[in-house]
Amino acid sequence: MAALIYSLLLSSIYFTLSCSATSNNGGFTIDLLHRDPPYGEARFRSIRSAIDRSFSRKSSLLSKISNTEIDSVDATVTGAGGEYVMKYLIGTPPVEQLGIADTGSDLLWTQCLPCRQCYKQNSPLFNPSKSRSYRPVSCYSEQCQFPSCDEGNSCQYEVLYGDRSHTTGGLATETLSFGGKIAFPKVVFGCGHDNDGTFSEAESGIVGLGGGSDSIVKQLRSTTGGRFSYCLTLLNANVSSKISFGSNAVVAGPDVVSTPLVKKAPDTFYYLTLEGISVGEKRTDLASSKAGIRPAVEEGNIIIDSGTTLTLVPQEIYQGVEAALDAVITGEKVTDPQGTLGLCYRVSGGQGIESPPVTVHFKGADLVVEAVSLFVEVEEGISCLTLVAAQDLAIYGNLFQMNYHIGYDLVKGQVSFQKTDCAMLK
């Protein structure tokens, strides 16, 4: 599920897609509004919760990869509170919903009446009986990828998340629109009648932006060309972030770098190839080089994910980066009181950590990570590195993605990056 940290500090990092959407030649752009983060102790509790969910999410995504023979969509994506919330309209007449925007899952679902068990949400639950365009998906339809049916032969779904959150209901088609202007008929979604777990009252469900067949990225492909992009503002920015689809999502210019999307199972995830990370001039590669020649690395060895806050890399990469940073950063080194993060320093007066440039080397694309993304204040006076070691699954998290315009093109099979001030993006 999409979610992790500080309001982009991940649990809180919440973003709401505003009702306003602009369209141009089949493309459209929506605001991702940055919810005001909590301050003081509440803020740090939110950050800690988001960090903890990063590890929970990693385990869930890994579980899904390990069980690719199971054909149920989103079956193991973690159910954490979201950081990005998309506002969309569903049904006829249209009803406003707020769904977590998640590149790590496919199915769009929302809480529905009648509700056998639902978590509390601020907005009214969707009532399919009042929509003229609601149509249950038949068990005999190709759209039904779940093995369960009700007495009327309507397709039923069940999604279980890594933290024991869940949603169960009927698969159906509906009219989906953004800003009340751009409508898409017969979009497959999950109408959840039994939902519970670590969901926030601000969320009515999930908007899956993954690469699988049930994702709205794939379902709207005839209009959007399989393209979407987003640009996440820095944590202290007071302006909205942006998410775009179709022609508006093209990331172009002389300073754009691109890296191939690697096709692997499950097709939900966006796999890239990480080659190494540099701290200043000191580079640590994924595998040790011999005679000055870097060995080939496994293709598709890292997932880029909007819902994970931290960036997780193999142990050998982490150790090299930590040692290089520790050698050049001046300041009092301290231990993370929670024992979660590996490299922490004492800070005061809201000051950040002065770090040399850190460059992430993907195949064909080098990305410079700003110090404000590299270190985050997890408790008052303690700032820690947002890079952690995880030998089993590497994830490029959203803190490292801030202030990059990132475009996904499923037709060309690539992800493009353009360094920019996302607060200035129109």
Annotation says 102 is catalytic: yes
Stated pTM of the model: 0.83
326 CB contacts (<8 Å, ≥6 apart)?
Answer: 333, 343
The identity of residue 417, as a single letter, is F
Q: By C-alpha distance, which of 273, 251, 275 is closest to 264? A: 273
Cα 173 off chain centre by: 24
pLDDT on residue 15: 34
Q: Please state, in angstroms and as integers, the Cα–Cα distance from residue 291 to each residue in 287, 288, 294, 297, following that order.
A: 13, 10, 8, 16
Residue 13 has pLDDT above 80, yes or no: no
pLDDT in tens, 193-213: 999 987 888 889 989 999 998
Closest CA to 30 of 47, 16, 11: 16
Choosing from 102, 163, 214, 285, the catalytic residue is 102
Active-site position among 52, 285, 305, 409: 305
- As a three-state string, the secondary structure of 304-351 is ECCCCCCEEECHHHHHHHHHHHHHHCCCCEECCCCCCCCCEEECCCCC
Percent helix, strand and coil across the chain, each to the nearest 5: 15, 40, 45
CA atoms within 13 Å, Cβ hemisphere of 345 = 22
Q: Six-digit token pair at 219?
A: 């379902």
Fill in the amino acid letter for 81.
G
Give 377's pLDDT tier (boundaries 50, 70, 90).
confident
User: Tell me, what's the pLDDT at 410?
Assistant: 95
Q: What is the dihedral of CA 307, 263, 164, 217, to 10 degrees?
A: 60
86 strand-pairing partners = 99
Interval 379-384 mean pLDDT: 89
- Determine whether 74 is an active site residue: no
Q: Please report, for residues 52, 62, 167, 201, 295, the alpha-carbon distance to residue 56 in angstroms, rounded to integers and kept in the order given.
A: 7, 10, 18, 21, 32
CB neighbours of 252 closer than 8 A, spacing ≥ 6? Answer: 416
Q: Could you please report the per-residue DSSP string of 121-136?
A: -SSPPB-GGG-TT-EE
CA angle 139, 140, 145 (to 5 degrees): 60
Q: What is the largest CA-CA distance in the chain?
A: 70
Q: How far apart, in Å, are the Cα atoms of 89 and each of 99, 185, 224? A: 10, 12, 18
Question: Which pLDDT score is estimated for 387?
Answer: 95
Band (pLDDT 50/70/90 cuts) for residue 55 is low
pLDDT confidence bin for 304, thresholds 50/70/90 = very high
